[in-house]
Structure 1
Amino acid sequence: MWCVAVAAGSFRRYATYRVATAAGVFTNTVFGFIVAYAYLALWAERPHLGGYDRAQALAFVWIAQALLAASALMGGGGLDELEERIRSGDVAVDLYRPADLQVWWLAADLGRAALQLIARGVVPLAVGALVFPLALPGDAATWGWFLVSVLLGVVVSFALRYLVALASFWLLDGSGLSLISGLACMFFSGMVLPLRVFPGGFGEVAQLLPWAAILQVPADVLVGARGGDGLLRGLVFQAAWAAALLALGRLVQSAATRKVVVQGG
C-alpha cells in the first residue's frame, strides 16, 4: 500500500540526519540525568508521591526522555513542514495527489516516530537503566503492550499537531499556536511531572485530557502502574482520543479544502 511506502520513506529520510540524531541522544541523556536527580530529591521527601516508588519515578523520567522525540512531546515532529506548505500555497499540490492528505501525513509521522523511537529512545533508556534502579518489566508481554500504547500515543500526538497545522489555513502565522500547543503537551502529558502527582480535581481532569494519552499512559504501562483492567482502560482511553481527534481533523480538513477551492476559483 502507498501509506506503507510513505512511512518507509519517512523512516529513511530521518535516518539520514545522523549528526542531529546523535546530538538528540546526547541531549536527551543529559536532561535525563538532570531530571532524575531532581526526582531523587523530591521522592526523598515524599517516598510514595503520586503512588510511585522511587524506582517507578526514575523509570518515568527515562521513559519520557525515550519518547520525547518519537511522540513529539515538544511539538513539531515534521508537521511544521505542513504548516509551511500551507502558508506558501504548496499544499495545493498535495491536495492533487491520489491520496488523502491526513492519511499521507499520518503515515509519514509514523515512519518518523519509528526512527526516533529506535535512534533516540533506546540509548537514553539503556543509560538510565545502567545508572539508576529503574522499575522496568522483565516479561515480553508488558513490553509489547507498552509498544502498542506508544503507537496509540503517537497517533494522538499526530492528531493534535495536525489540527494545529491546519489552523494555518486561517492564521497568517501559526507559530504562536504551535508554541502554545507544545507547552500544553509538555505540561499535560506528564513530561514535567507525572499527572498522578497533580493534586485533587486538577490532577483528575489532567488525566482525562488527550495529552495524557501521549506519555502518561504508556509510562504507566511500562512501570507497572497499569495492569489488568487498568491496562485495558488505558488503551481504550488512548484509542478513543485518537479516533475523536482524527475525526475532528477530517472535519477541519474538509473545511480547509473548501477554503482552498474557493480561493483558487
Structure 2
Amino acid sequence: MRVYLRLLLAGIRTQSAYPLAMLAGLVANTAFGLLKTGILFAVVDSGGGTVAGYTLGTMSAYVWLSQGMLGSVNMWGGSEIATRIKTGDIAIDFMRPVDVQAAAVVTEVGRGLFALLPRGLPSLVIGALVVGMSLPTTPVQYLLGVASLLIGITVSHATAYLVTTMGFWLTETRGITVLYMALSGLFAGLFTPIWLFPEWLQVLAQATPFPSTMMYPVDVLSGRTTGLDALVLLGVQLCWLAVVWIGGHALTRAGRQKLEVQGG
C-alpha cells in the first residue's frame, strides 16, 4: 500500500508542476460556466421557475460543481498508459513488482485530486459570488458528497484505463478515444443534467458508468439527492467501480498474453 500511496503523491506532484495550465483551465471553466448558466437559467425560467426538480439555485450548483470537476474527471479517454502500450514500454511496466492497472489508475487519480485545488474550488467560489447557488447546510451531506466525488474521480480514471487497454489489439486507438469523449461528456452530465433527458435516454445513460463520474457526485454535493437516496447513488458508483476495475484487470491480463509492440 505504501507504494501506491507514493504513486498517488507522485501524481499530485506531477500535476502541480503546471500552474499556468491550471490557470488556463480555470479561465476556461469560468467562461463556459457563465455560458452554461445563461442557457440553463433560461430553461428553468421557461419552466416557471423549476424544471425536473431544479430551481435556479440548484441549477447554478450543478453548473459550477460540474465545471469545477472538469480538471479532475477524465472525459477525454487518454492517459499516459495508452502511449506506453503503443510504444511497447508497457513491457517494462509488466516487469515491475506492482500491479500495472492499480499503478496507472492511482497516479491519474493523484493528478485529478490536485486539480481540485487550483480549478475546482476557485470555480465554485466564482460561481457563488457571481451567480449564487443553493448548497447543503448539513455536514453529513458534505461528507457524503466528498465520498461520492472521490469515487467518481476513481471511476472516471478506471474507465479510461479500460478503454486504453484496447491498444493491446489495435494499432491506433484515436477513434475509440473520440467515441469515448462524445459519450462520456453526454452521459456524465457535462453539458446538461441527465435528468433533463427524455426517459429512454436517461435509462441509456444510467446503463453506463459515466453518470457515476460526474452527475451522481454533483447531485450529492449540491444536496439535490439526500439521505438514503444519496447512499444508493454511492452504492451504484461503487458497483460501477468494481465493474470497470474487473474489466480493466481482465483485459490487462489478456493483453499481456498477446502483447504486440507498436513502433518504439
Residue matched to 1:30:
31
Q: 1:3: how far off?
A: 0.2
Q: 1:13 to 1:262 in 2, by over 3 A?
A: closer
Distance 1:139 1:74 in 2: 34
CA deviations 1:85-107 (Å, max 9, x no partner) are 11111111111111000110121
Residue matched to 2:168:
169
State which drifts further: 173-182 or 135-144.
Answer: 135-144
Alignment-mate amino acid for residue 217 of structure 1: Y
Residue matched to 1:134:
133
Q: 1:48: how far off?
A: 1.9
Q: 1:64: how far off?
A: 0.7
User: How does 1:185-264 map onto structure 2 within 5 Å?
Assistant: 185-260=184-259
Q: 1:117: how far off?
A: 1.3
Distance 1:185 1:261 in 2: 28
Residue matched to 2:97:
98
Tell me if 1:3 matches 2:1.
no
Alignment-mate amino acid for residue 167 of structure 1: M
Residue matched to 1:15:
16
Alignment-mate amino acid for residue 200 of structure 1: E
Distance 1:65 1:262 in 2: 38
Distance 1:204 1:90 in 2: 40
Distance 2:91 2:138 in 1: 48
Residue matched to 2:70:
68
State which drifts further: 133-142 or 85-94.
Answer: 133-142
**Does structure 2 retain, via aligned residues, the 8 Å contact 1:68–1:74?**
no
Question: Identity of counterpart residues, as a percentage?
Answer: 30
Alignment-mate amino acid for residue 85 of structure 1: R
Q: 1:262: how far off?
A: 11
Residue matched to 1:160:
159
**Does structure 1 retain, via aligned residues, the 8 Å contact 2:77–2:164?**
no
CA deviations 1:95-139 (Å, max 9, x no partner) are 111100011012101211110112210101100000112011233
Helix, strand or coil at the partner of 2:52: helix
Unaligned runs of 5+ in 1: none
Helix, strand or coil at the partner of 2:85: helix
Q: 1:143 to 1:259 in 2, by over 3 A?
A: same
Alignment-mate amino acid for residue 16 of structure 1: A
Q: 1:223: how far off?
A: 1.9
Tell me if 1:53 matches 2:55.
yes
Alignment-mate amino acid for residue 160 of structure 2: R
Distance 1:32 1:71 in 2: 16
CA RMSD of aligned residues (A): 1.6
CA deviations 1:13-41 (Å, max 9, x no partner) are 11010111111111111111111111111
